[in-house]
Amino acid sequence: AQKVTQAQTEISVVEKEDVTLDCVYETRDTTYYLFWYKQPPSGELVFLIRRNSFDEQNEISGRYSWNFQKSTSSFNFTITASQVVDSAVYFCALGGRASGTYKYIFGTGTRLKVLA
Amino acid sequence: EAGVTQSPTHLIKTRGQQATLRCSPISGHTSVYWYQQALGLGLQFLLWYDEGEERNRGNFPPRFSGRQFPNYSSELNVNALELEDSALYLCASSFREYEQYFGPGTRLTVT
């Protein structure tokens, strides 16, 4: 079965602190994709990153970085020098064909509050 | 390039009524996905349409239905509304199955 776990329900940090959002997944697929989305208060999900299962290279985009480790089935997301505008709910998602039909499974989200 | 659009932004209905939500995908995208996000909860997959056909369905009762039109836009219908149907309904579109782009959502309130 496919599953995505975001154990951190809510995190509060002070501006300029670094913060890591955890994501652990389960799948029997050998080929799959992992995603992170940001959901600001407006409600729209904003695509942040996609990784495929064959590419374990870490990625950095500005203040954002992602650490993909197949050995621990984790795809963690770090925000460096957090800002108030980073306050949002962040979702990790898994896409794959475990049951024959392509499916997306989302985690329950982590609410990040960055305090000024 | 225009993103995914959804209408209406907000919808208020009473219990037992029907609701119709609409989604227009990004130009060139043939797949449309519908998700329900109840307050404080994650996204629950509802329906996936591709090339006019329903490809997959989440664990929702039959009163949740929809369709995809020849121009790839989509409609989600919820019949016999119940209070617990109150949620943000998000639509996403994709060209390739491993990328989804989301619209701003329709907030449905059932009273």
3-state SS assignment for residue A23: coil
User: Considering only CB atoms, which chain A residues are within 8 Å of B98?
Assistant: 33, 50, 52, 95, 102
3-state SS assignment for residue B106: strand
Note the pLDDT of residue A81: 96
In tens, the pLDDT along A38-96 reads 999 888 899 899 888 888 888 888 999 999 999 999 999 999 999 999 999 999 999 88
Give mean pLDDT, residues A28-33. Answer: 88
Does A40 sit behind a cis peptide bond, omega within 30 degrees of 0 on the bond before it?
no
User: Considering only CB atoms, which chain A residues are within 8 Å of B105?
Assistant: 43-44
Long-range pairs for B17-21: beta carbons < 8 A, 24 or more residues apart:
B17/B81, B18/B77, B18/B78, B18/B79, B18/B80, B18/B81, B19/B77, B19/B78, B19/B81, B19/B85, B19/B108, B19/B110, B20/B75, B20/B76, B20/B77, B21/B75, B21/B76, B21/B77, B21/B78, B21/B89, B21/B91, B21/B106, B21/B108
In tens, the pLDDT along B40-97 reads 778 899 999 999 999 889 889 999 999 999 999 999 999 999 999 999 999 999 987 6
